[in-house]
A = this chain, B = another copy of it.
Amino acid sequence: MRGTAEMQMQDKEPAAPQRYPQGEVSRVPTRCASCNLHDLCLPCGLSGQDLDRIEELVYTRKRLDRGENLYRAGDDFSSLYAVRSGFFKTVQTLEDGREQVTGFHMAGEIMGMDGIGPETHSGSAVALEDSEVCVIPYSRLEKLGREMPQFHHQFHKVMSREIVQERSVMLLLGTMRAEERLAAFLLNLSQRFTARGYSASEFYLRMTREEIGSYLGLKLETVSRAFSRFQEDGLISVHQKHIQILDVLGLRRCMGQKSD
């Protein structure tokens, strides 16, 4: 269970926000084959030769400062984006101005698929810390898909998983109570950090209570109270954005306690 060869991040380190010196240009290789995220990201599951072909996919990286928009609702759609490093939120806005966070995105995850159908992004993506994304021109993705059945299928899987993921959020929003939602949220984050070689039990939140609340369909005060409650119950320890999960099973149990 130790970090595998291609997993070059150190295990058990809490994932902490990073800051890149302004203006520095990324010199890490742009090729998917040598990217340590390749088995979390789009190329996941591709074999050696296919993996090499894939390098035509990404021809640009883009660096974003914290708070910067990767794209905005209404922007023309042209590319998908894979998070290379950093952390993002995606936001959806209603005509009357109400808005909701519809997702948080970390290394290896794909953003922008909402734009393919309408040819315009229906929501916005914002960097929550200084971040870097791989720009994947959609036209190139389609072309590669045609030439490489494996990759074609892989992309469908990624979209499909996005659909499944969103359905589970619908379930969360539709059937869970506040503390259950927060528990589910923390466990989900923990699991995703684990998959990236970071500690499962200790991490830094990149988002504010308000953003968590927006995502979970709660007000920030309710989120804060739930955090406090978990802490009182010894399930977690919270210091600002620093979270330690002390009792995973307790959190799990807390998710399934609805009588109905």
In whole Å, how far is A117's beta carbon from the nearest beta carbon of chain B? 4
In whole Å, how far is A51's beta carbon from the nearest beta carbon of chain B? 19
Collect the chain B residues with CB atoms within 8 Å of residue A159's CB: 113, 116-117, 156, 159-160, 163
Q: Mark A95-132, 1 if CB is under 8 A from B, else 0.
A: 11011101000000000011111100011000000000
A79 part of interface (Cβ distance < 8 Å): no
Q: Which of A162-215 contact B (CB under 8 A)?
A: 162-164, 166-171, 173-175, 214-215
A24 part of interface (Cβ distance < 8 Å): no
Q: Would you call B174 and A100 a contact (CB within 8 A)? A: yes
Q: Would you call A167 and B164 a contact (CB within 8 A)? A: no
A29 part of interface (Cβ distance < 8 Å): no
A52 part of interface (Cβ distance < 8 Å): no
A19 part of interface (Cβ distance < 8 Å): no
Counting chain A residues whose Cβ lies within 8 A of the other chain, the interface size class is: 35 or more
Collect the chain B residues with CB atoms within 8 Å of residue A255's CB: 96
Collect the chain B residues with CB atoms within 8 Å of residue A100's CB: 170-171, 174-175
Q: Would you call A167 and B217 a contact (CB within 8 A)? A: no
Stretch in contact with the other chain, from A60-68, A145-153, A241-249: A145-153
Collect the chain B residues with CB atoms within 8 Å of residue A95's CB: 256
User: What number of copies of this chain does the assembly contain?
Assistant: 2
A5 part of interface (Cβ distance < 8 Å): no
Q: Looking across the interface, which residue of chain B has its beta carbon closest to that of A258? A: B98
Most buried by B among A95, A159, A161: A159
A35 part of interface (Cβ distance < 8 Å): no
Q: Looking across the interface, which residue of chain B has its beta carbon closest to that of A260? A: B98
Q: Looking across the interface, which residue of chain B has its beta carbon closest to that of A154? A: B117
Give the CA-CA distance A102 to B175 in the complex, in Å. 12
Q: Looking across the interface, which residue of chain B has its beta carbon closest to that of A159? A: B159
Collect the chain B residues with CB atoms within 8 Å of residue A115's CB: 160
Give the CA-CA distance A98 to B173 in the complex, in Å. 12
Give the CA-CA distance A127 to B169 in the complex, in Å. 24
Pick 23 A–B contacts, CB within 8 A, sort by A: A92-B167, A92-B170, A96-B255, A96-B256, A98-B175, A100-B171, A100-B175, A102-B167, A114-B164, A116-B159, A117-B160, A117-B164, A118-B160, A122-B167, A142-B149, A142-B153, A145-B145, A146-B146, A166-B167, A166-B170, A173-B173, A174-B214, A174-B216
